[in-house]
Amino acid sequence: MAKHVVMNLKKVPIKVSGLDIVVPPDLSFKVEVELDKKIAKEATKDPLLVQKFQSQASEILEQTKDTIENKCKVFDKLIVGMIDKGADDKKVKAQLKGLNDAIKNDMKVAQKAAELGVQSTWKELQSKRKEWRGFKIKVGVSIAGTLAGLALSIAGLATSGFSGGVGGVLAIAGFIKSGISLAQDIKKLAIDIEGARVELDGHLKFIEKAAKTKGLYTANEVGAAVLNEFVGISQPSIKSAQDCADTIKAKYAQMIVKVHDLSKTLEKILKEQQKVKKEFLTEAAKRLKKHPIKDKKGQMNKISTALDKELDANYKKVDAQITRIQLMYADTRKWAATIKDLLKRLAKLELKDSKGLKVFREVLKAVGAAAGAIDGNSVASSAQELGLGLGESVGGYVYDKISSKALDGTVFDAA
């Protein structure tokens, strides 16, 4: 008998895309036939015989590869699910052993199928070549392959308990709460300042009118004239004007401080968000380092991109509120000139000598008593909208939502 090798392939790759855990085997596939020496030389030179044998062997090889590829997909999904739920090494390796055993069985089936296939092809050829009908062949088929095992520890890789950046998210929630409170304070201060400004302007107009009255030569006489003409608790006087001015100065100073505080609070949110991202990715990297998945870089890029996308929307919301604060601050700073003018007018009324009063009267003739505008309602509305905007931002900083979106479709996806 003479041996004829029909096919001899080494390390035939099993190509399966999207696998995370399972490493498919490289197959060695050999089909060999033994022919009677009388026809061996002739048969091996027959293109039809060679082609028929090779075609049959290739068909069995492709069927075997398809079967193993499908099994790898099924087991990979199963094992990934187990790992994400906290399965330990022992349980996972048991599944891998099951996959190995299934592949070995597929090889046995393929070997028998290849043997029968080549035998069938030989009979078909014998029916067409009378001189071959008395000869038999012996078919030998060898299929070998091993599945790589997991060398790394896979314990503790479940999504449950993933907490990278959770502290930062809680801190952000506190900053948002503080920001809303500051916005509410600013709204109230803006309304109070406008009210005090209107009241002060009214008092000043009356007192200034009284100061122009003929026969009044001192600031004390201005005050007396006021008391003589008006009776009532709310009657305009230098004292009432001074109270309004004190309110304006104090509340305006408070508002400027709170606007600055609000701006700094929102900046803290943005900085804390960067910390959240850093801590989240640090934990993801540590878990991937222990994970048996081959494409760690690809998984990390996927997580980082998804996390950026999720946090970017929150960043833009907060950044928009910072822009709103800057505009609101610019509006409030314009009030400074109006407040300064009001205080100057009041200072003139507080003069205690006739010479000062005479100068005051001349000033009134030249500039009049018109006051600049302070639009407290506009700033109050801006502060209200800012507070509402911050309130809406809270929903974007729910940790479960952030982590779920960031891990979606990765090896840590619990879905």
Mean pLDDT (whole number) for 370-394: 69
SS3 157: coil
Kindly report the backbone phi and psi dihedral angles of residue 241, in degrees, each rounded to the nearest multiple of 5, phi listed first. -65, -40
Name the nearest CA neighbour of 90 among 81, 79, 101. 79
Quick one: pLDDT band at residue 375, thresholds 50, 70, 90? low
pLDDT in tens, 10-39: 887 778 777 777 777 778 888 887 877 766
Residue 162 to residue 414: CA distance in whole angstroms: 11
Quick one: pLDDT band at residue 271, thresholds 50, 70, 90? very high
Residue 59 to residue 29: CA distance in whole angstroms: 12
End-to-end CA distance of the chain: 60
Residue 80 to residue 60: CA distance in whole angstroms: 30
Q: Which two tokens stand for residue 198?
A: 């209107």
pLDDT in tens, 154-165: 444 444 456 788
SS3 12: strand
Domain spans in the chain, listed from the N-terminal domain onward: 2-144, 166-407
pLDDT in tens, 58-77: 888 888 888 888 888 888 88
pLDDT in tens, 169-223: 888 888 888 888 888 888 888 888 888 778 777 777 776 776 666 555 445 445 5
pTM score: 0.54
